[in-house]
Amino acid sequence: MNLFDDSTAHNLDSSIETMTTAHDTHTGGPAVIDAPEPAQPSPVELEASAPDATQHDAAHTAPEPEAAKVEEHEETAPETAAPASDDFAAALHSFETETEEAVGDDHVIKGRVVKLTATHVVVDYGAKSEGMALLSEILDHEGKPKFQPGDEIDVMREKGEIEEGYVRLSHLKAQRLRSWDEIERAYNEKKPIKGIVLERIKGGLTIDIQGAHAFLPGSQVDLRPIRNLDGMKGQTIEVAIIKLNKKRGNIVVSRKQLLEEEQKEKRGLTLEHLEEGSILTGIVKNLTEYGAFVDMGGLDGLLHITDMSWGRLTHPRDLVNVGDQIQVKVLKYDKDKQRVSLGFKQLTPDPWLDAEHRYPVGAHVHGRVISVTDYGAFVELEQGIEGLVHVSEMTWSKRMKHPSKLVNVNDEIDCVVLAVNPTERRISLGMRQLASNPWDTLHDKYPVGATVEGRVRNLTEFGAFIEIEDGIDGLVHVSNLSWTTRVKHPSEILKKGDKVKAIILAIEPDKRRLSLGVKQMQPDVWDSFFVKHRIGDIVHGKILRVANFGAFVEIAEGIEGLCHNSEAVDPNGQPMHLEPGAEFDFKIVKMNQEEKKVGLSIRAVGEEASRQEVESYKHPSSSSSSSSSNSTTIGDLISWKRAGGDSN
């Protein structure tokens, strides 16, 4: 490519030849254009391309064009406290105002690499002396030389010499000169061009476009800000040239512009087929706690976690990952707000529709424990089908306090289907049903009336629970603890952990109830009392307590009778004042063996004594009989007196 016209090129060649001849005449050595050695570019600045002579002259007469402003998103600048926008502005300004370097030739020279040093590459370019180019100009993105000794290389002469006497060369400018036509064509025709990311600099990236270095601002790298720009090093990307300064050789490119155009084109195609109920293919772009965003081609839709699976998901990552390509169903589309709701589980039938047929009651099933709570464990039978094993259905024993004592998350267990409710999407499962029910054979092992021995497991206000074997507890009601003692709380007789014997009173397998009795281990004092006593017998008793309707009297150990107020009357018909601790003779006037009740009377004792006196007066007998009769009368009178009768 020729950047100079013929006259300018001829004049420049003549000038260089005249200077060279004069220098050779004076010194006898090769001509060197006397110019200050240009400063090497810093790592954050871009190499300037060689301008043509006409533009160089114009640069001294015309003011510099104002630097274009490129919009940039916020980005965290590495190791700097200045705002990202300031970093970018400084980088762009440095990029556009880089000092031009005068060139000693206007064309690309074919050379051959002689050797590589730590800082330079020595090139034989066919002149009287060899030249040197910076080693950094031939390094790839990994920092490795692209040329080795013997390889052919394109270079351009630059003004001045290196201290060792080598001519200063530039491989980078030679590449720029060769690639400039294509770069300029891409800029004018607004076509994309490929480049390789070389390194990250302040405010963006340096891109190698066929040897020419271009500046890619951080805000133009992607549709969304990228925090780790270093990760793009070495990648080949397509970019659009958005600013071109041919005089200075400065190039600013944008990848975002191409992505936006591509996204716009894809969105148009997507919208043509987008409607509720349609099935599309998309790529997972981002995951949140509540769902996943899916790119369906220029348009993002939300796949909510509740629409991902018929089963339970704790997080969307349990089903999909960023970058996955998945099929989704459009559930709802808001054209005005451009919002799309997607579904994944809707692509497969609802497993609950025929769950009642696939999991009949009584069927044995296998599943995985996915959750354990205080009230039971949830078991996954298949994707979307879960059942609950209630804590009461885990074991026949009542001693288990928490389901975690038997199962843990991810355990594989067998269960029995107890109930299915497709409407409420519930399945009740049982584990204990897989083992024999000990209550079914309890009658055979412990018939009613049999004596058993067990340990007191728990005490309540109404009785004591005694474990007679693992999983089998019996209740001793407080009323069955003693024949003779009125027990208010079982702790008065038993303690937790005590080993006791009891009698089987009743068994209810369907309700899992077992009734035990402790007092039944001893003879019933009531039975003995009813055998020995009849109505009309005179007994001696002690008043235990007094109520509004009468007094309770102890007439034998463990045996109480009631003397009603109407029966506590003296021979004169006057009510008697009864107090706890007082002792009297009582006549048994009522007996109920089933209810264990005895009715007593003081009045009847006096009436019996008076009747015997009258009978003795009407029917006198022999002395012995009289003596016997008088003896009985005296005893009755004594009893009557004890009851409060009149001595007269």
DSSP of 74-130: ----TT--S-HHHHHHHHHHHHHTPPP--BS-SS-EEEEEEEE-SSEEEEE-SSSS-
Statement to judge: residues 452 and 429 lie in one domain: no
Give percent above pLDDT 90 in the chain.
Answer: 17
Burial 582-621 (b: 16+ CB within 10 A, else e): eebbbbbbebeeeebebbbbbbbbbebbeebbeebeeeee
What lies within 8 Å, CB to CB, of 170 at 6+ separation is 50, 133, 134, 137, 155, 156, 158
Instruction: Check whether residue 616 and residue 531 sit in a common domain.
Output: yes
Strand residue runs (E) in 391-450 = 412-421, 426-430
**Pair (532, 641) in one structural domain:** yes
The verdict on residue 109 lying in a domain is no
Inside any domain, residue 85: no
Say whether both 545 and 639 belong to one domain: yes
pLDDT of residue 643: 44
Domain boundary among 347, 371, 392: 347
Q: How confident is the model at residue 13 (pLDDT cuts 50, 70, 90)?
A: very low
> Which domain does 372 fall in, by range?
355-434
Are 562 and 640 in the same domain? yes
Task: Give the confidence band of 261 by pLDDT, cuts at 50, 70, 90.
Answer: confident
Residues 479 and 502 in one domain: yes
Structure tokens at 602: 């003081």
Residue scoring higher pLDDT (153 or 634): 153
Tell whether 222 is covered by a domain: no
Q: How confident is the model at residue 415 (pLDDT cuts 50, 70, 90)?
A: very high
pLDDT at 84: 44
CATH number of the domain to which 474 belongs? 2.40.50.140
Rounded to the nearest 10°, the torsion over CA 519, 520, 523, 528 is 90
Which is nearest to 262 in space by CA: 244, 237, 280?
A: 237
From residue 34, alpha-carbon distances to 5, 62, 407 in Å are: 25, 25, 90
Which phi and psi (to 5°) does residue 503 adopt?
Answer: -110, 135
State whether 376 and 481 are in the same domain.
no
368 part of a folded domain = yes
User: pLDDT tens digits for 605-634?
Assistant: 877 666 666 666 666 654 444 444 343 344
CA–CA dist 570, 563 (Å, integer): 13
Distance of CA 368 to the CA centre of its chain: 18
Residues 6 or more apart in contact with residue 354 via CB below 8 angstroms: none
Question: Is the domain of 517 the same as that of 534?
Answer: no
Please indicate, yes or no, whether residues 362 and 447 belong to a single structural domain of this protein. no
56 or 581, which is more confident? 581
Asked if residue 603 belongs to a domain, the reply is yes
Query: In the structure encoding, which two tokens stand for residue 290, read together?
Result: 């509540």
> Quick check: 525 pLDDT over 50?
yes
Give the number of other Cβ atoms within 10 Å of residue 486's Cβ.
Answer: 11
Residue 389 pLDDT = 94
Separation CA 520–CA 480 (nearest Å): 7
pLDDT at residue 319 is higher than 80: yes
pLDDT at 377: 93
| Statement to judge: residues 514 and 529 lie in one domain | no
Going from the C-alpha of 123 to that of each of 48, 171, 278, 478, the distances in angstroms are 21, 10, 64, 112
Q: Which residues contact 232 (CB under 8 A, 6 or more apart)?
A: 197, 200, 205, 221, 226
| pLDDT for residue 616 | 64
**pLDDT given at position 347:** 85
Q: Which of 137-146, 193-202, 561-570, 606-615 has the lowest mean pLDDT?
A: 606-615
Q: Please determine, for residue 424, whether its predicted confidence score (pLDDT) is greater than 50.
A: yes
Half-sphere exposure of 183 (CA within 13 A, CB side): 28
- Is the distance from CB of 160 to CB of 37 less than 8 angstroms? yes
Flag whether 248 is in a domain: no
What share of the chain has pLDDT > 70, as a percent?
77
Whether 643 maps to a domain, the answer reads: yes
Minimal CA–CA distance to 346: which of 330, 334, 357? 330
Supply the pLDDT for residue 161. 76
Ramachandran region of residue 98, left (φ > 0), alpha (ψ -120 to 50) or beta? beta
Buried b or exposed e, range 330-351, using 16+ CB within 10 angstroms: bbebeeeeeebbbbbbbeeeeb
Of 506, 521, 536, which residue constitutes the final position of a domain?
A: 521
Residues 602 and 545 in one domain: yes
Could you tell me if residue 147 is inside a domain? no
Number of domains in the chain: 4
Number of other CB atoms surrounding residue 363 within 10 Å = 11
- Of 486, 521, 556, which residue sits at a domain end? 521
Q: Are residues 545 and 502 in the same domain?
A: no
Instruction: Tell me which amino acid residue 600 is.
Output: L
